[in-house]
Amino acid sequence: MAEDLRFDNRVVIVTGAGSGLGRQHALMFGARGARVVVNDLGGDLAGGGRSSAAADSVVAEIKAGGGAAVANYDSVVDGAKIVQTALDTFGTIDVVVNNAGILRDSSFHKMSEEDWNIVIRVHLTGAEAVTRAAWPIMRDKTYGRVVMTASSSGIYGNFGQANYSAAKLGLVGLANTLGEEGRAKNILVNTIAPFAASRMTKDLLSPEDLAKVKPELVSPLVGWLSHEKCTDTKGLYEVGAGFIAKFRWERSRGHKFGTDSVFSLEDVARQWSKIGDFTDADHPAVLEDATKVVFG
């Protein structure tokens, strides 16, 4: 089948696009006709250093394939500068893929304040800063697609990644509310939790597993979520090694103690198994559905 899901005339920002997943996303967009802002600070895995080489080489690859791309070397924390590059070069912005990231792993009791702050800043505040700068443009044109990059570490928890897990699940919360706020303006916001071989995972996974989690096996989902034909919003998807699945919230039927009298700790203990019983569980997707049961 011909590649009919194209991005001609669409302007796409991919942050952290100089290597790993971001590079593959940028190449995919470039090959499908998008005009791509290849953002990358070019630093090391821990967030130190800077270089223009990473972004430049991906821009060269896209251009060599006949695509249109421009490099940007700002930190995502300076999101407005990245969006300005899109506006100066291509005149608008249609898609933001928030992908840039770093690691400062250590167990919580050894984690410095700086390791906490920089990881929250790059992943969560960085994605917020880029999206914030793109948001009014998307609102004005009543079109936008935003993809956040979360992590299974945030969903499930992972030893040594308190900062990273908090930032990554923070992005899901951000996406959930931006999904609500963007809906009426046709700005759709989705989140991926990828698995991919990159400098982030090369020492964590076995060579056999690394061979399976090629970054290019994540980009098709990013492309679909970024396309005008995809009309879903507020989704969270696990993706990697040729597998894609959707997450949703699940809430037990719970127990209603009522409001006539204050119940005791012992009452909670007595109902504990019922509170945690997921038989016939509920899947509220919006706040209105969730609160109906609480207040109803």
Does 201 interact with ligand NAI (rule: CB under 6 A)?
Answer: yes
* Out of 10, 11, 14, 22, the residue judged to bind ligand NAI by CB under 6 A: 22
Stretch of residues binding ligand NAI (CB under 6 A), selected from 3-11, 18-26, 27-35, 281-289: 18-26
Rounded to whole angstroms, the Cα distance separating 126 from 267 reads: 45
CB 30 within 8 A of CB 16: no
CB 70 within 8 A of CB 96: no
Binding mask 70-89 for ligand NAI (x = CB under 6 A): -----xxx------------
Q: Is 145 helix (H, G, I), strand (E, B) or coil?
A: strand
Residue 20 φ then ψ, to 5°: 50, -135
Does 134 interact with ligand NAI (rule: CB under 6 A)?
Answer: no
Binding mask 94-133 for ligand NAI (x = CB under 6 A): -----xxxx-------------------x---x-------
Identify whether 164 is a catalytic site residue.
yes
Tokens of 275: 């509170």
Complex with ligand NAI: residue 129 or 143, whichever CB lies closer: 129
Does 135 interact with ligand NAI (rule: CB under 6 A)?
Answer: no
Report in angstroms how near the CB of residue 3 gets to ligand NAI at its nearest. 24
Long-range contacts of 42-48 (CB under 8 A, 24+ apart): 42/18, 42/73, 43/102, 45/102, 45/103, 45/199, 45/200, 46/102, 46/103, 46/104, 47/102, 47/104, 47/118, 47/122
The interface with ligand NAI within residues 33-52 (CB under 6 A) comprises 39-43, 45, 47
Give me the residues that bind ligand NAI (CB under 6 A), please. Answer: 15-16, 18-22, 39-43, 45, 47, 54, 75-77, 99-102, 122, 126, 149, 151, 194-196, 198-201
